[in-house]
Amino acid sequence: MRRIRKRRSLPLLPLLISLVVVLVLVNVAVLVTRPADRPNASERRSGALAVTAAEGAADTRPATRKASPSAQGIQSSKPRFGAFVGTDSKNAAAFEKWLGPPVQDVVDLLHPDQWSDISDPQYLLDEWKDTGYRLIFAVPMLPDALLPTKERAMRNGADGEYDRYFTELAENLVANGQEDAVLRIGWEFNLKSWAWGIKDHDVFVRFFRRVVTAMRSVRGQRFDINWNPNNGFNPYDAVNYWPGNAYVDSVGVDAYDVDRHQYPYPKNCSKVCREQRQQTAWDEAIYGGPRGLSFWAFFAQKHHKPFSLPEWSMWDRFDGTGGGDDPLFLSQMHYFIHAPANNVSFAAYFNLNSPDGHHAIQKYFPIGAKRFRELFGT
């Protein structure tokens, strides 16, 4: 048995003071050493930023222009509201009238056959000129004509062969009042289906940098260069395609109510059954999961860029893997968009049907349409 030396008693008041001092010093040490960018558990549950492991390496070179306050991770105003309604200003006005609040941004894109369609999309610029909408423009890196030889074409682009087309495009945007356009260069590049969707991420990065450099060289431009992967599971891990902080102004992610594990709904799936599957899809694929919205919002924060949603929507997919008329998805997205920790600068609802299914909210989603107006119509 160990011998215990008997100690003289200390006065009670000095002892209590000493304990308080020690506790204060310990708490200060914890606050100093705790990572400032690590959100707590309640933030992760609520749809704010979530901590994830994988990160793209930051580019340490100086940026080519001074970053705006939002690019420093500060959300200074309410997120801008936008919509994809096709190349049709009347559709934009009709959607705006149905919803109530003004549409600030319109999303548009090309599926060009030749380089001239990319460098000089005058029909598109004529449609949106003097409408007051800011253009969120999906910029193809290659024309569809080069899809069969896209690996070689992307290498040619990385070597500077196509710089002149992007310089001309930038000049046309500025000349038509779209000097502040958001440019989604090579959007959804982590999908194989696009001409710029290739496995060689080094080639993509070099080509992306050349496009940005060419377009920023045009006098009068104030473009927002948007690096724009597709959300969730995809063939290529978009993290490997990060071009560096100097070449990106904002991080954008296209997010749809899609989950191949929870949808299609089982036969005779009740309302409770549907809601359970919708919630699981959100928790494990759309928001959660290795490459869900929580990951990308935190990725943007780590790179000191504002976050955005250039395309988001409910989706009644023909293959059954979409959630369909899903007001829960709308509620979750509304909270995510407006949670200050996520630093969302703009979000644009995709309101036009696609070859894979329905998106048009007024026609195909009566329950969702009502909820959408409750959430975004105020």
Fold of the 77-376 domain: TIM Barrel (3.20.20)
- Cis upstream peptide for 264 (omega within 30°): yes
Q: Is the pLDDT of residue 372 over 90?
A: yes
pLDDT of residue 12: 44
- 261-287 pLDDT, tens digit per residue, is 999 999 999 999 999 999 999 999 999
pTM of the model: 0.81
- 201-222 pLDDT, tens digit per residue, is 999 999 999 999 999 999 999 9
Listed residue (257, 254, 247, 301) closest to 280, CA to CA: 257
Taking each helix axis as running N to C, give the angle between helix 327-338 and helix 366-376, from 0 to 180 degrees, rounded to the nearest 10: 20
pLDDT of residue 310: 98
The band of 378, judged by pLDDT with boundaries at 50, 70 and 90, is confident
Listed residue (124, 171, 127, 162) closest to 143, CA to CA: 162
For residues 353, 359, 362, 364, the Cα torsion angle rounded to the nearest 10 degrees is 90
255: left (phi over 0), alpha (psi -120 to 50) or beta: beta
Residue with tokens 């290739």: 198
- 32-88 pLDDT, tens digit per residue, is 333 333 333 333 333 444 333 333 333 333 333 333 333 333 444 799 999 999 999
Provide the mean pLDDT of the chain: 84
Residue bearing the bigger pLDDT, 363 or 64: 363
The band of 91, judged by pLDDT with boundaries at 50, 70 and 90, is very high
The DSSP line for 106-135 is EEEE---SSHHHHH--HHHHHHHTTS-PEE
Share of the chain above pLDDT 70, in %: 80
CA angle 330, 331, 334 (to 5 degrees): 85
- 217-250 pLDDT, tens digit per residue, is 999 999 999 999 999 999 999 999 999 999 999 9
280: Cα separation from own chain's centroid: 21
Q: Is the pLDDT of residue 155 over 90?
A: yes
CA angle 143, 147, 148 (to 5 degrees): 145
30: Cα separation from own chain's centroid: 33
The band of 112, judged by pLDDT with boundaries at 50, 70 and 90, is confident
Residues 6 or more apart whose CB falls under 8 angstroms from that of 254 comprise 187, 188, 228, 229, 230, 231, 309, 310, 311, 312
Listed residue (120, 218, 225, 128) closest to 183, CA to CA: 225
The band of 110, judged by pLDDT with boundaries at 50, 70 and 90, is confident
| Residue 37 · residue 300 · CB < 8 Å | no
Q: Is the pLDDT of residue 23 over 50?
A: no
pLDDT of residue 15: 39
18: Cα separation from own chain's centroid: 51
- 280-322 pLDDT, tens digit per residue, is 999 999 999 999 999 999 999 999 999 999 999 999 999 999 9
pLDDT of residue 275: 98
